[in-house]
Structure 1
């Protein structure tokens, strides 16, 4: 019963909104680059800024969440490395990248809101920003960028969500009172972020026609949607996470491979077909696994 309730109350709303994006992608020729820029530069930073102003997440909780997510990602990456042992370099790197780059934006934010409420969303924003750092540092390093640490640092500093978080922390720490009109405008943009990232996910999935169900695809998908939430459930308590914090970490680690992993693989020519297939397979598989995680969270946490 709990599993069915999770499917209807948490997964179904997410799927319905994403299907709107799929339908739009099948009906019109849309510029995904523009949609991505609207989300990345316009809406998500406002969500991050608004979350910092309203969140009840303390600095200590944020540190625990970030440490937990990074530890789980590291261990999962090692598991993927072992699972890819003996395969050629591009395949091995693509498998590892598909495991460590999670969809904590398109999927993670709305599911956290629906499953855990406003507090869960605040936690999910912290993890989302952490996942962006992983995506734009570890991702290029695995998939073929040779820019080194300097380019990695520049990528992180160019993330608008990073500056939005910093600005929000500054405003909250100094106690500056922003005009009501500004706060309402920010809140409107923040509210638009959740449905827009889901529509963007649907657009991206709707434009992906190739799917190859090979051994590496199946292995990487299973590690992504099964091993990560199990690792979070084991490692989280070791870092002192419990209650809503532990639930947020486990739920975040149950997310599928991010579509941006495919974007990076295509950019660097590192087996994009494999990564695209993992994105599709892990996304479909996660509909059931996330529902199971949501149903088990009260007992796990």
Structure 2
């Protein structure tokens, strides 16, 4: 019973805030998705990442090991999902990127924070940044048939991760007044991302729901399994291993839909994956957390 209550305490705030965003749209209120997303990804999230790493109570060597493990996870998942798409005779441009990239930002960061504290958040932001680099390079190349490999380095959250890692490695800290300001800005990130997730899901028009259900089930199992195997191989300590598995198992990212819409893939099919996997995560993420805690 205590474990069930603990899991509910972790997951309930996450899904309640996403529900707020969903209800906001249902009630007909205005929500400027592009503006809030830009505010989050260019200001709030980078500040959250930088301060989390700068103040991390985690050995820099452990973060390096987690980084290498995350690179391995997304490399293996890329191969595995390519095989799945080929076996299922699915459109590569439409399905491969959504099957690889999870919602490590909107869902992964708050879950890691609530479940494993500041140490969990430190690991989660590194995994999030690695996924973002892979998404903005290889992911765009998949959907668009080409992409600039240096584009990811222009993303503020990638720069914040590199800078935060340097501060952690050197033991540096910013002046207290600046740290307090950066922390205040960073505190916007998690509630904004969760509410925005609910808004985005409410506005999507899902299609091919039967296929989306099957693919979402396969994806969740494969992602969690691959992360667990690689985490064991890298001998990650328990919190790092749990965060790696949790991040890999997050549902399909909303950004996959935005990329499909922008580059002419089947956006309705991708929106089906986003909606179905997000709804399913309400059930499987608490179960997964129960095993990881």
Aligned pairs for 1:1-301 (under 5 A) are 1=1, 4-26=4-26, 27-85=28-86, 91-147=91-147, 151-153=148-150, 155-172=151-168, 178-215=174-211, 217-298=212-293
Question: Is the alpha carbon distance of 1:69 and 1:170 closer, same or farther for their aligned partners in structure 2, counting shifts above 3 Å?
Answer: closer
What RMSD over aligned residues (CA atoms) do the two structures have, in Å?
2.0
Contact residue 144 and residue 268 of structure 1 kept, 8 A: yes
Contact 2:206–2:273 at 8 Å: present in 1 too?
no
Q: Distance in 2 between matches of 1:287 and 1:6?
A: 15
SS of match in other structure, 2:292: helix
Provide the secondary structure at the position in 2 that maps to 1:30: coil
TM-score by length of 2: 0.92
Specify whether residues 144 and 98 from structure 1 end up closer, same or farther in structure 2 by C-alpha distance, changes over 3 A only: same
Kindly indicate whether the alpha-carbon contact (under 8 Å) linking 2:103 and 2:252 is maintained by their aligned counterparts in 1: yes
Could you give the per-residue CA deviations for residues 11-41 of structure 1, whole angstroms, max 9, x where no partner exists? 2111111111112223223221101111011
Offset of 1:80 from its aligned partner? 2.2
Count how many residue pairs are aligned between Structure 1 and Structure 2. Answer: 292
1:68-91: CA deviation from partner (whole Å, max 9, x where unpaired) = 2222223233332222225666x2
Task: Determine the C-alpha separation between the residues in 2 that align with 1:7 and 1:242.
Answer: 21
Q: Distance in 2 between matches of 1:3 and 1:94?
A: 39
In 2: Cα distance, 1:77 partner to 1:157 partner:
21
TM-score normalised to structure 1 length: 0.90
Q: Distance in 2 between matches of 1:79 and 1:173?
A: 34
CA distance in 1, matches of 2:271, 2:136: 18
How far does residue 166 in structure 1 lie from its aligned partner after superposition? 3.0
Kindly report structure 1 stretches of 4+ aligned residues shifted beyond 4 Å.
86-89, 170-177
Query: In structure 2, do the counterparts of structure 1 residues 272 and 72 end up closer, same or farther at CA, with 3 Å as the change threshold?
Result: same
Give the distance between the partners of 2:85 and 2:2, measured in 1 at CA: 35
Alpha-carbon separation, structure 1, partners of 2:231 and 2:159: 28
Q: Deviations over 1:104-141 (max 9, x none)?
A: 00000000111111111111111111111111112111
Unmatched segments (≥5 aa) in structure 1? none
Please identify, of 233-242 and 165-174, the stretch whose mean Cα deviation from structure 2 is larger.
Answer: 165-174
